[in-house]
């Protein structure tokens, strides 16, 4: 399956591995830029929330802009992040020096943002690297730098297997990806229902 390389908009659907949670994602590949629209319905600390997000990135898989809209018991909140794709970030008109050097974006409630980093890195079997991400927590939309490590375990025309590690938390997971590099399952968190 080569949907992303063929430039065809594709939809994906994940369910939370434990407890209530769903994500519907649409990815429209560029040129000149690619766009993902996501809707996440979930529960954090016993409270339901809804997240709408939109991410734009260039042909180098570097994020350029992301917008977020959250609705929960505290009401609606919005946030926008812009980046040059090389480690400089802004929130609306303010620079975010605490995110300096963060090359990628990671949204807590979706397995999709792992794909962006992995496509950019293009790791071969046996290769590993550490990155700094701008990590967006939910439902509050706070953003902080988080170090992560990826290692490519295996790769074929059908997909790949990648080891993920949250360096500051010690969390580890093995992520299977399809031929387009989209996460199929995120053990303990998400399982993809469609397309399989």
Give long-range contacts, CB 8 A cutoff, 24+ apart: 75-83. 77/139, 77/140, 77/141, 79/136, 79/141, 79/143, 81/105, 81/134, 81/136, 81/143, 83/134
pLDDT at residue number 5: 60
Q: What is the pTM of this model?
A: 0.94
Percent of the chain with pLDDT over 70: 97
Q: Which two tokens stand for residue 177?
A: 């990806």
Q: Where are the domains of the chain?
A: 10-194
Reported as a pLDDT band with limits 50, 70 and 90, residue 4 is: low
Average pLDDT of 156-178? 95
Summary mean pLDDT of the chain: 93
Average pLDDT (96-115) is 95
Burial level of 90, CB count in 10 A (0-12/13-18/19+)?
A: middle
Between 175 and 45, the higher pLDDT residue = 175
Q: Which two tokens stand for residue 96?
A: 């975010």
Res 196: pLDDT: 80
Checking if the pLDDT of 2 tops 60, the result is: no
């Amino acid at each position: 399956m080569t949907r992303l390389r063929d430039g065809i908009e594709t939809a994906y659907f994940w369910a939370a591995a434990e407890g209530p949670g769903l994500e519907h994602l649409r990815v429209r590949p560029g040129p000149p830029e690619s766009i993902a629209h996501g809707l996440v319905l979930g529960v954090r600390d016993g409270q339901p929330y809804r997240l709408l997000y939109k991410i734009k990135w260039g042909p180098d898989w570097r994020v350029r802009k992301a917008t977020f809209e959250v609705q929960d018991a505290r009401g609606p909140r919005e946030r926008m992040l812009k980046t040059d794709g090389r480690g400089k970030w802004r929130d609306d008109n303010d620079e975010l020096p605490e995110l300096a050097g963060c090359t990628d974006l990671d949204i807590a409630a979706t397995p999709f943002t792992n794909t962006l980093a992995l496509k950019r890195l293009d790791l071969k079997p046996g290769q590993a690297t550490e990155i700094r991400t701008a990590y967006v927590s939910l439902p509050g939309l706070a953003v902080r730098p988080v170090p992560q490590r990826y290692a490519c375990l295996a790769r074929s025309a059908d997909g790949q297997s990648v080891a993920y590690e949250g360096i500051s938390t010690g969390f580890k997971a093995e992520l299977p990806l399809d031929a387009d590099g989209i996460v199929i399952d995120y053990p303990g968190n998400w399982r993809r229902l469609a397309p399989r």
